[in-house]
Amino acid sequence: MNSYTEYLTLNVPHRMEFVNITPQVNVALLNSHIREGLCLVNAMHITASVFINDDESGLHADYKHWLEKLAPFDASAETYAHHRTGEDNADAHMKRQIMGREVVVAVTRGKLDLGPWEQIFYGEFDGKRPKRVLIKIIGE
Amino acid sequence: MNSYTEYLTLNVPHRMEFVNITPQVNVALLNSHIREGLCLVNAMHITASVFINDDESGLHADYKHWLEKLAPFDASAETYAHHRTGEDNADAHMKRQIMGREVVVAVTRGKLDLGPWEQIFYGEFDGKRPKRVLIKIIGE
Amino acid sequence: MNSYTEYLTLNVPHRMEFVNITPQVNVALLNSHIREGLCLVNAMHITASVFINDDESGLHADYKHWLEKLAPFDASAETYAHHRTGEDNADAHMKRQIMGREVVVAVTRGKLDLGPWEQIFYGEFDGKRPKRVLIKIIGE
């Protein structure tokens, strides 16, 4: 069994944004020389996500609107107890749970075994700072 | 390390439906001859899910009602920007994020290491067309 | 390839509670002698979660309040069809879908490759009874 580890750093200039990181994961897979196995991609920060969905800007706008409705930003400590610590990002911790922390993608014949529209995204919910994404590939 | 790959095709006659695919995953595991490892099962389409929960029809009805409330179907392009592309399934992309894309199940002594009520489901949110599910098993 | 399997049993005295199980997962990893690989941690029960987030009591209070709003407890069979079976925990099945069933964590140089604030939690949504969590580690 072989394994390969890589860390990406993303610095998103907005509070909430989605970044297609499929190209970076493809490069990591090439570097790994693994042809059959599993590829884990996860956010290393707890107000960010890695998820798989469509690369369509209208859908991304819909996701933002929807997540804001389900878990609204509100800096007050009356609304969110987490803010008594000085933070203002409780909403980001919730948005991240809906969108998920990680994806596991099959590696088949040296390629990410993705469906026709599947693209891997980094989801930022409390941006304007550098955050890391972990890529771990194991297999043969 | 050994690996095994299989693709299921599901064609669900309703827009939203849940299908128990545990039997198919068990057959794939038998075919793989893997006794210790990990089994990834994921939807290859971005308006569908693979998730683990109870095989109880009342609960499934509750899930449908609940998901419709959290992410209502609405074909208009005023409600969902994604529909400017001609699609009408933005709600399905949201429902899928709540229910998840994939499950990873432990393989122990040649069996899926599931709890007493755990069953693997395909969750369809924009059906009436064929879609694929990927089963990838690695181990020894 | 090596593999290691361990089962934790948790008996949470409240209906909804979050328990930091990172120490137990670290011990399992030490016992496995695996230095590079993947570590799956999943709830084996369908009204419980394993998720990764912050160990901050205010945030946990916010999560409980938020989950109760998105999927309210209501024992009646008029609200949830699942309750016609005699159960009263349909809300717990929903809360678990939002928080997720499992996490997959990279193992790098013999350690869980977690970000600075990442902690692994067991999320109970229908407690006051013993439930199991599975830890499966594969690698070398």
| ipTM of the modeled complex | 0.97
Question: By the CB < 8 Å criterion, does A38 face chain C?
Answer: yes
Q: How far is CA C3 from CA B38, B104, B136, C28, C51, in A?
A: 10, 15, 17, 11, 22
Q: Are B107 and B118 in contact (CB under 8 A)?
A: no
- Report how far residue A118's alpha carbon sits from residue A39's, in angstroms, rounded to the nearest whole number: 14
For an interface test with C, the pick among B3, B35, B50, B52 (most C C-beta atoms closer than 10 Å) comes out as: B52
Q: Are B47 and B96 in contact (CB under 8 A)?
A: yes
Chain B CB contacts of A139 under 8 Å are 1, 3, 138
Question: By the CB < 8 Å criterion, does C70 face chain A?
Answer: yes
Q: Work out the number of other CB atoms within 10 angstroms of the CB of residue B57.
A: 13
Question: By the CB < 8 Å criterion, does B9 face chain A?
Answer: no
- Report how far residue C47's alpha carbon sits from residue A38's, in angstroms, rounded to the nearest whole number: 27
Q: What is the pLDDT of residue C107?
A: 98
* Yes or no, beta carbons of C37 and A1 under 8 Å apart: yes
Question: By the CB < 8 Å criterion, does C103 face chain B?
Answer: no
Mean pLDDT of B67-90: 97
* Yes or no, beta carbons of A46 and C118 under 8 Å apart: yes
Q: What is the pLDDT of residue A56?
A: 98
Partner-chain residue, chosen from B3, B43, B82, that has the shortest CB–CB distance to A37: B3
* Yes or no, beta carbons of A139 and B80 under 8 Å apart: no
Question: By the CB < 8 Å criterion, does B102 face chain C?
Answer: no
- Report how far residue C105's alpha carbon sits from residue B125's, in angstroms, rounded to the nearest whole number: 29
Q: What is the pLDDT of residue A127?
A: 98
Q: Work out the number of other CB atoms within 10 angstroms of the CB of residue A37.
A: 24
Q: What is the pLDDT of residue B93?
A: 98
Query: Average per-residue pLDDT in chain A?
Result: 98
Chains that touch C (3 or more CB pairs under 8 A): A, B
Neighbouring residues of A23: CB distance < 8 A, sequence distance ≥ 6: none
Q: What is the pLDDT of residue B113?
A: 98
d(CA C69, nearest CA chain B) in Å: 11
Q: What is the pLDDT of residue B41?
A: 99
Strands (DSSP E) along B12-100, which ranges? Answer: 17-20, 37-43, 48-53
Question: By the CB < 8 Å criterion, does B74 face chain C?
Answer: no
Mean pLDDT of B102-121: 98
d(CA A83, nearest CA chain B) in Å: 25
d(CA B139, nearest CA chain C) in Å: 7
- Report how far residue A115's alpha carbon sits from residue A22's, in angstroms, rounded to the nearest whole number: 13
Residue contacts between A and C (CB atoms, under 8 Å): 93
Mean pLDDT of A13-37: 98
How does C30-60 read in b/e, with b if 16+ C-beta sit within 10 Å?
Answer: eebebebbbbbbbbbbbbbbbbbbbebebbb
Q: What is the pLDDT of residue B18?
A: 98
Query: Average per-residue pLDDT in chain B?
Result: 98
Structure confidence at residue C20 as a pLDDT band (50, 70, 90): very high
Mean pLDDT of A28-37: 98
Neighbouring residues of B22: CB distance < 8 A, sequence distance ≥ 6: B112, B114, B119, B120
Closest CA to A92 of A57, A123, A136: A123
Query: Average per-residue pLDDT in chain C?
Result: 98
Mean pLDDT of B105-111: 98
Q: What is the pLDDT of residue B39?
A: 99
For an interface test with B, the pick among C82, C104, C140 (most B C-beta atoms closer than 10 Å) comes out as: C82
Q: What is the pLDDT of residue C84?
A: 97
Structure confidence at residue C11 as a pLDDT band (50, 70, 90): very high
Residue contacts between A and B (CB atoms, under 8 Å): 93
Mean pLDDT of A9-28: 98
Question: By the CB < 8 Å criterion, does A20 face chain C?
Answer: no
* Yes or no, beta carbons of B115 and C94 under 8 Å apart: no
Mean pLDDT of B111-138: 98
Partner-chain residue, chosen from B52, B98, B138, that has the shortest CB–CB distance to C98: B98
Q: What is the pLDDT of residue C26?
A: 98
Q: What is the pLDDT of residue B27?
A: 98
Q: Are B59 and C82 in contact (CB under 8 A)?
A: yes
- Report how far residue A64's alpha carbon sits from residue A54's, in angstroms, rounded to the nearest whole number: 14
Each residue's pLDDT tens digit, A84-131: 999 999 999 999 999 999 999 999 999 999 999 999 999 999 999 999
Question: By the CB < 8 Å criterion, does C106 face chain A?
Answer: yes
pTM strictly above 0.95: yes
Structure confidence at residue B136 as a pLDDT band (50, 70, 90): very high
